[in-house]
Amino acid sequence: MVDRNEWERDRPVLTGSPRRPPPSFVEQANVTDPGIYDEFEENWPECWERAADLLSWDQSYETVLREEDAPFYQWFPDGKLNAAKNCVDRHLESGRKTHTAIRWEGKHGERQTYTYRDLYVAINEFAAALRALGVEEDDVVTIYLPMIPELPIAMLSCARIGAPHNVVFAGLSADALATRMDAADSEYLVTCDGYYRRGDAFNQKSKADNARLKLEQDVSTVVVDRLGDDLPHVLGDDECDYHELRETFAGELVDPVPRDAEDMLFVMYTSGTTGEPKGVVHTTGGYLAHATWTSHAVLDVKPEDTYWCAADIGWITGHSYIVYGPLALGTTTVMYEGTPDYPDRDRLWEIVDRNAVDIFYTAPTAIRAFMKWGSEYPAGYDLSSLRLLGTVGEPISPRPWNWYYEHIGNETCPVVDTWWQTETGAVTVSTLPGVSEMKPGAAGPSLPGMDVRVVDSSGTEVDPGDSGYLTIARPWPGMVRTLYDGDERFRAEYWDQFSDPESDDWHYFSGDAARIDEDGYITVLGRVDDVINVSGRRLSTTEVESAITGVAGVAEAAVVGRSSETNGTDVYAYVSTEGGYDDGTAVREAIIDNIETAIGPIARPTKVQFTPELPKTRSGKIMRRLLEDVANGEELGDTSALRNPEIIGEIQAELDEE
Ligand code: WT7
């Protein structure tokens, strides 16, 4: 639970000079009428039919929004549709069989192209295989794959037969996979032998095997052979080879199952304020409508585009903006397996140039790295095909924003800074690129039809120029419907803070702090709960702390975020051991090992600071805010509430010595 009074510090907020959208962009944009804001406002919630109309429905809906059971809202109830049919089949019917759906760029320069027809064949065959393995409608299928085409193929095959998918980021550990399969009662797993990390073959299957050993349920597993002879593997009795299955079911067709709009499309686990990840449930109609509409209105995707969202499908950004949104619009979506600096720092620009990419969407962390590497890398390529740039995942300050605008966009591409979350399903705050002025450093206003507000701890909207809590005052189609872990936790995590159930007044709480300006532009300041955002990836400090305290000899731990020029935020851990002060390398290594085992390398701390004690209040609460200030070299707030104020001085002295 969030301590709402903790967000008291006023941070300076910088926004750069506003820029008008480039006229060459406006001329061709999907949305250009500024009247759209009023139109949506006057016609709410029916305005969202505009999003639903981008989809093909097997049975049309009669109601747009059902609010009776708030905060358990229903969008387009009584409508029926299938997500895979929307993303694939309907494009064959509209004569786009040979149009490229997925352009895959492998780590070592390998390339694969799937036309819509190829994708159709693949998902039919794999859907048939899943059925033969026993997967029925509503069974949760876990997918633990890196960025290879079989990942979206597996997702869409699940969608075809109405089996919700549960994609677990390939870089997470065996323990993290087991937790998520257990929580989702999942008895099916699609994984691979391994993948290339940097130059090396990395064994994924052994992680999957270890996860399965921890589970009570039997798991039937499909293994994609990605590495061939580079990493030979043996299949067990309850394991099948993906390519053999495809051959067995070659040519098989499976009718897409018409799903109720409110049927679950997928669950995605994300970090919450407790150690237990939250299973965010998204449904078929509202989610797909919102992801598709924002791909059209915010990212300006057109069917003839080559569109590239350089994220990982293992997180929500990839679900909404590599797979569902772009494929529903029938465009070409680029999928990149590697990293931006392998084999060299020009890798992304080479891909943009060669594929004549029109739209490029990435995270501020990546942009800060490009900036650091220098403009000579993009300057060596022809990037003139680019029409729009996007960013997502963390706040972006004016300097990297401007660098992106100048050196990647050549000052002719609008930049959309899109704020949203796993829970919002799709973009929630952003400028409309063909309509609005851009302000570097501010994401933008609420999208039409959304009502995002910045409020104080009593829920009252703050004055322009002030900061407060970021809340959403009206339901929206892509919103999380509940948590797989239960409705109670759903209410507690998102609704209890700012809602008044007595008067049926519901406000969703995002967990973020923000500032709003006189034009309604929102600058997101960061999380106010026990979640830190490292390179656009969400981590729970509690989860990292429990991995640390699991190490023999460790007494207590506190994890905070430290600002970092490249990552935005780094993980910074304070640890006290049972024997008092310790800087033993062995303990440090055990701590890092344990974190990688429990979560994965993404949670690895950049610093483990040993201290004889942690600073605590008289009631025994660890003062994380102070530790955060120390880690960031900031001036300390009030320490009078501390039982052991001297400890702060000791920690600082220790740091000064380094
Ligand atoms: C958290 C959600 C949504 C895709 C990626 C992350 C932060 C996201 C922005 C932005 C400032 C941002 C917020 C949010 N965030 N976009 N444009 N400006 N902060 O999804 O893992 O659910 O994380 O990412 O703190 O709450 P997620």
Rounded Cα–Cα distance for residues 34 and 32 (Å): 6
Show the tokens assigned to 37.
Answer: 């804001």
Ligand 1 atom closest to the CA of 537, numbered from 1: 21
Q: What share of the chain is helix, strand, coil (3-state, %, to 5)?
A: 30, 25, 45
Between the CA of 537 and the centroid of ligand 1 the distance, in Å, is: 8
* Bridge partners (DSSP) listed for residue 251: none
Rounded Cα–Cα distance for residues 382 and 507 (Å): 47
| 128 close to 252: Cβ distance less than 8 angstroms | yes
Provide mean pLDDT across the span 86-106. 95
Q: Convert the pLDDT of each residue in 563-575 to its tens digit.
A: 888 888 899 999 9
Provide mean pLDDT across the span 607-634. 86
Rounded Cα–Cα distance for residues 127 and 251 (Å): 12
Provide mean pLDDT across the span 288-309. 98
Provide mean pLDDT across the span 412-439. 98
| 163 close to 190: Cβ distance less than 8 angstroms | no
pLDDT of residue 583: 59
Task: Tell whether the model's pLDDT for residue 77 goes beyond 70.
Answer: yes
Residue from 641, 640, 606, 635 nearest 621 by CA? 641
Q: Whose CA is nearest to atom 3 of ligand 1?
A: 421
Task: Tell whether the model's pLDDT for residue 9 goes beyond 70.
Answer: no
| 409 close to 415: Cβ distance less than 8 angstroms | yes
| 85 close to 160: Cβ distance less than 8 angstroms | yes
Please state, rounded to an integer, the average pLDDT across all residues of the chain.
93
pLDDT of residue 430: 98
pLDDT of residue 31: 98
Q: Which residue's structure tokens are 């949104």?
A: 325
Ligand 1 atom closest to the CA of 470, numbered from 1: 26
Name the residue type at position 158: C
71 upstream amide cis, omega within 30 of 0? yes
Q: Convert the pLDDT of each residue in 205-258 to its tens digit.
A: 999 999 999 999 999 999 999 999 999 999 999 999 999 999 999 999 999 999
Task: Tell whether the model's pLDDT for residue 5 goes beyond 70.
Answer: no
Q: Convert the pLDDT of each residue in 148-169 to its tens digit.
A: 999 999 999 999 999 999 999 9
User: Would you kindly state where each structural domain of the chain is located, as residue ranges?
Assistant: 112-257, 530-657
Class of domain 530-657: alpha beta
pLDDT of residue 7: 43
Class of domain 112-257: alpha beta
| 87 close to 328: Cβ distance less than 8 angstroms | yes
For ligand 1, say whether the CB of 533 is within 6 Å of any of its atoms: yes
- Give 365 or 1, the one with higher predicted confidence: 365
Residue from 425, 385, 427, 424 nearest 408 by CA? 385
Q: Convert the pLDDT of each residue in 574-618 to its tens digit.
A: 998 887 655 567 889 999 999 999 999 999 999 999 998 899 887
Task: Tell whether the model's pLDDT for residue 178 goes beyond 80.
Answer: yes
Between the CA of 203 and the centroid of ligand 1 the distance, in Å, is: 30
Q: What are phi and psi of 508, to 5 degrees?
A: -80, 135
pLDDT of residue 355: 98
pLDDT of residue 655: 81
What percent of the chain stands above pLDDT 90?
Answer: 80
| 573 close to 558: Cβ distance less than 8 angstroms | yes
Residue from 436, 439, 369 nearest 397 by CA? 439
Between the CA of 536 and the centroid of ligand 1 the distance, in Å, is: 7
Give the 3-state secondary structure of 440-458: CCCCECECCCCCEEEECCC
For ligand 1, say whether the CB of 509 is within 6 Å of any of its atoms: no
Residue from 263, 282, 279 nearest 271 by CA? 279
- Give 191 or 585, the one with higher predicted confidence: 191
543: left (phi over 0), alpha (psi -120 to 50) or beta: alpha
Task: Tell whether the model's pLDDT for residue 620 goes beyond 80.
Answer: no
For ligand 1, say whether the CB of 316 is within 6 Å of any of its atoms: yes
pLDDT of residue 8: 41
pLDDT of residue 24: 96
Q: Convert the pLDDT of each residue in 17-62 to its tens digit.
A: 899 999 999 999 999 999 999 999 999 999 999 999 999 999 999 9
First to last CA, the chain: 36
Between the CA of 640 and the centroid of ligand 1 the distance, in Å, is: 34
One DSSP character per residue, 267-329 reads: EEEE--SSSSPEEEEEEHHHHHHHHHHHHHHTS---TT-EEEE-S-TTSHHHIIIIIIHHHHT
Residue from 87, 243, 236 nearest 156 by CA? 87
Q: Is the ipTM of this complex over 0.95?
A: yes
Q: Whose CA is nearest to atom 17 of ligand 1?
A: 419
Give the 3-state secondary structure of 578-638: CCECCCCHHHHHHHHHHHHHHCCHHHCCCEEEECCCCCEECCCCECHHHHHHHHCCCCCCC
pLDDT of residue 470: 98
Q: What are phi and psi of 453, to 5 degrees?
A: -130, 155
Task: Tell whether the model's pLDDT for residue 463 goes beyond 90.
Answer: yes
* Bridge partners (DSSP) listed for residue 66: 74
For ligand 1, say whether the CB of 312 is within 6 Å of any of its atoms: no
252: left (phi over 0), alpha (psi -120 to 50) or beta: beta
pLDDT of residue 78: 94
Q: Convert the pLDDT of each residue in 490-534 to its tens digit.
A: 999 999 999 999 999 999 999 999 999 999 999 998 888 888 988
